[in-house]
Structure 1
């Protein structure tokens, strides 16, 4: 299933890029992230705990940055599993310079398996909600000057 959205971050594109390029900042802004551990160049192991309806559970998985085009485009591949099934996803962030602000277009393709398929109709809404929380956190960090 495809998901996509747009956001506006209140900082210039170079500052947004620097924050996106910081694994600790990404971990601190990812809802439910308990651990993000580097395993190689642009590769990480993650533990994520989500407490929302059909996707509730603790997921263990891998994240790999598949494309990095500073300061315009960032792509990732994610796979994880829990007792309820598995999730595989690819995602792309495109940053548009808007002077003092940055427009972000994000898109993703998500696959689920196991018992998670029972709640698959809810997943796009849940993904949009989690993405909104992620970008709100990034925006707060940018406005606080911690990036």
Structure 2
């Protein structure tokens, strides 16, 4: 499933870049993220709880930054599973930053997500709706961390 979108932040690109690269800011912005731990310079572990339909799941995730083009693009891979291996998630992600005419930053993102196991049984429509809800809440949380509203 391909998840993509964009949003704008009224903050300079350099500031947005630093916040996106900060695992504590990102963890605090991701709905359901309980913990983030830096493993090494380019890898992080996180625990994220989600509820899709009647199923609640807690994923142990590994996020690996594969490539960075400073203040412009981050390529990453996320993989993880529930403790019981009931569901497995894998995602290849691209985040791109660009300047807006007003001096802010536009954030474009694309994630190619695969979910198997008990959560994989839900239809694409349910997953897309949930992904859109989570993305919307992330944007609100991330803007709060930057101290801006748009």
Question: TM-score, normalising length from structure 1?
Answer: 0.89
Q: In 2, Cα distance between the equivalents of 1:36 and 1:140?
A: 19
More helix by share: 1
Alignment of 1:1-147 (within 5 A): 1-53=1-53, 56-82=56-82, 83=84, 84-98=86-100, 99-121=102-124, 122-143=126-147
CA RMSD of aligned residues (A): 1.6
TM-score for the superposition, normalised by structure 2: 0.88
Query: The residue matched to 2:147 in structure 1 has which SS?
Result: helix
- Return 5+ residue gaps in structure 1 as ranges: none
Preserved CA contact (<8 Å) 1:112 1:120: no
**Superimposed CA distance per residue, residues 106-146 of structure 1 (whole angstroms, 9 cap, x where no aligned partner):** 111001111112114221221222122112111122225xx
Cα drift, residue 55 of structure 1: 5.7
Contact persistence 1:74–1:94 (CA under 8 A):
yes
Contact conserved, 2:52 with 2:119, CA < 8 A, in 1?
Answer: no
Structure 2: gaps of 5 or more residues: none
When residues 55 and 16 of structure 1 are mapped into structure 2, their CA distance, relative to the original with a 3 A threshold, is farther
